[in-house]
Copies of this chain bind each other. A is one copy, B any other.
Amino acid sequence: VGQGLVRILRDRKPFPFALVAVSDPAKGSLADPEGLDPDALLRTVSDSGRIDSLAAPFRGWEATQTIAESGANVVVEMSPTDLTTGEPATGHLRHAIEMGLDVVTTNKGPLALHYRELTDLAQSRDVLVGMEGTVLSGTPVLAFGRELLKAAGIRSISGILNGTTNYILSRMEAGAEYAEALSEAQRKGYAEADPRGDVEGSDAAAKVAILANHLLGADLRLGDVEREGIAGIARAEIENARAAGKRIKLVGRLETENEGLRASVRPAHVPLDHPLASVGGVSNALTFETEILGEVTVSGPGAGRMETGYAVVSDLLSILRERGGRRR
């Protein structure tokens, strides 16, 4: 994702941002208050897998020192997701927010586990938190829901939030057995060697928690989302659903009821004429059911380096707008 972001900054200029530091435990760390050259970073990492052969005034800073000393106005957190502890990302975000720096994260862990703590802290420090990349990667559904649909009265949200399981179910519908479809997804790089986070539904459940907190004002944690994965699904079930005019999809769902909110991820029988039914392969989609507009659906990519990099750029542009172009 970091490389996707840097490619966008290089190729789609002019953006009114400079990249003043990069810190990666595997690829090395550089900082330059005058700005690092995106093209040089990309070429060096592509040649050597690392960035630290480049010249820069500061080198070898780990994340904590980078946050403290780079002089950046915004910290972009893109470390690997850990849905059990939320670390190291939560610590990075807390640190940056306490310093009064605006933050952008593509990491679901901190927000699926500590949303309210982090956003309360951010509010107390007048800090902005961008998180567009945590749900549907660069498809801007969080801004869509929050800025453009909120006044329509969102009653429920249903979505296909995980591309790996959607790919597996699409392949099974085309005739593959579960194990076959899973190993195909692994070969194509859609599923990890340990696919549990995807197929048992925790990736989707983390996104459901984020949607609940960000769009419906809830205070949910990953563990509050009822969860059932796709590992138990047989091809016969998929065929039976099909015969009944339905398609089995792993659906994340939020439903407001009375004063409460039900949050779940589970395989659902979606009618073929519903927009979510036609979302195939690794695509993702979200249907908002609203009081005034009825159903509104957005579909788009659910993952990808460039796609998630775009989410970061969107968040940066939105921070810039919010700050009125002024440095604080």
Contacts and interface: CB of A to CB of B under 8 A. Distances in A.
Given A140-B148, A151-B317, A280-B273, A8 B292 contact: yes
A28 to B, nearest CB: 26
Interface string A255-299: 000000000000000001111011110000000000011111111
B314 A151 contact: yes
Contact of A298 (B153, B273, B296, B310): B296
Interface bracket on A: 35 or more
Given A293-B300, A296-B298, A314 B148 contact: yes
Number of copies: 2
A293 B299 contact: no
A152 interface: yes
A292 B273 contact: no
A279 to B, nearest CB: 8
Contact of A12 (B151, B278, B313): B151
A203 interface: no
A151 B295 CA distance: 26
A70 to B, nearest CB: 24
Contacts of A310: 151-152, 292-293
A279 B299 CA distance: 13
A300 B306 contact: no
A149 interface: yes
Given A151-B313, A152-B310, A273-B278, A138 B300 contact: no
Interface of A: 8, 12, 138-140, 143-144, 147-149, 151-153, 272-275, 277-280, 292-301, 306-307, 309-310, 313-314, 317
Given A275-B275, A292-B310, 7 more contacts: A8-B292, A140-B144, A275-B299, A293-B310, A295-B300, A296-B300, A297-B298
5 nearest A-B pairs in the assembled complex, by CB-CB distance:
A296-B300, A278-B278, A140-B148, A292-B310, A297-B299
